Amino acid sequence: MAQIQWFPGHMAKARREISERMKVIDIVIELVDARAPYSSKNPMINEIIKSKPRLIVLTKKDMANESMTAKWVHYYESLGYQAMSVNLKNFNEYQKIIEKCRTVLKPKMDKELSRGLKPRAIRAMVLGIPNVGKSTFINKLANRKATVTGNKPGVTKAQQIIRVDKDFELFDTPGVLWPKFDDEHVAKNIALLGSIKQSILPLDDLFIDAIKFITLHYPELLQQRYQLEIDLEDPDWVLDTFDHIAKLRKIKPLKGETDYDRVIELFFSEVNDGSIGRITWEDPSCIKE
């Protein structure tokens, strides 16, 4: 896959603003997508927040493989981070996040009180790349429609401070991506999450890679969704897969041939909405730091 570069101007500005305002923040809530918890973790954040307390939250765990999500939480905890996973549709789990932040910051807040400082609200900054569910996350915590939500990368553009309750404030920021993807696998995984605009991607390559991955790791999902059993040793497996899905979904031929673009569009739509099933695109055992 060709190297993908995508760094809009508003993201460069967001990075500067995050750096400038980090000094007034108590804790960073870093959101990553449970379907690709490594690829969706912005390496810029380490440079920006340095030693600031951090809670890594794996979002969309309801769309990821359950056992793999547990492995990823353990992986980040083994690196010394506080980590947990959430289903963005389950409000009770959001309350656990607030309590986790309070636990992490209790020594700092107690120290301020012992110095005679007045009690104040915890200030948390929410960081994450586009489309990891950041706006949904903030809306749930604020218990109102505090930010614009959408299923397109880069929906949130301006920073906001949102009061969750009298003791907890959220500092929202736009999603931030790094300037380029040096790792082809990271670029592919980010594309599969919908965190970069699909119009800049070689979708046919991405389709083939995704089908191959699911065949190797989740073959039962292809059988359940498309009645597909793929032999990757068969030289015709790619075309046969296109033809099979087109026929199954009654996609009309284009000039007498399978409409490959329609098949790809359908497939990625079902990947993104979870219709195919719960898939995690990477394994922590394969990460080489």
- Would 91 be classed as within a structural domain? yes
- Would 264 be classed as within a structural domain? yes
- Would 18 be classed as within a structural domain? yes
- Would 195 be classed as within a structural domain? no
Residues 207 and 91 in one domain: no
Determine the Cα–Cα distance for residues 40 and 49; give it in Å rounded to an integer: 17
pLDDT at residue 47 in the model:
83
- Residues 204 and 260 sit within 8 Å (Cβ to Cβ): yes
Q: Which domain holds residue 279?
A: 202-286
Residues 153 and 212 in one domain: no
Give the count of beta carbons closer than 10 Å to the beta carbon of residue 254: 12
Residues 156 and 254 in one domain: no
At 171, which helix (H) or strand (E)?
strand 168-172
Q: Which of 132, 152, 172 is the last residue before a domain boundary?
A: 172
Q: How many domains does the chain have?
A: 2
Q: What is the CATH number of the domain that holds 98?
A: 3.40.50.300
pLDDT at residue 174 in the model:
59
**Nearest to residue 242, comparing CAs of 221, 223, 257?**
257
Residues 162 and 28 in one domain: yes
pLDDT, tens digit only, all 289 positions of the chain = 445 555 556 667 777 778 888 888 999 999 999 999 999 998 888 888 888 999 999 999 999 999 999 999 999 999 999 999 999 888 778 888 989 999 999 999 999 999 999 988 999 998 888 888 888 888 777 775 444 434 444 434 445 678 888 889 888 775 566 656 677 888 889 889 887 766 667 899 999 999 999 999 999 999 999 999 999 999 999 999 999 999 999 999 998 999 999 999 999 999 988 999 999 999 999 887 5
Residues 236 and 128 in one domain: no
Residues 6+ apart with CB under 8 A from 132: 31, 32, 33, 40, 59, 60, 175, 193, 195
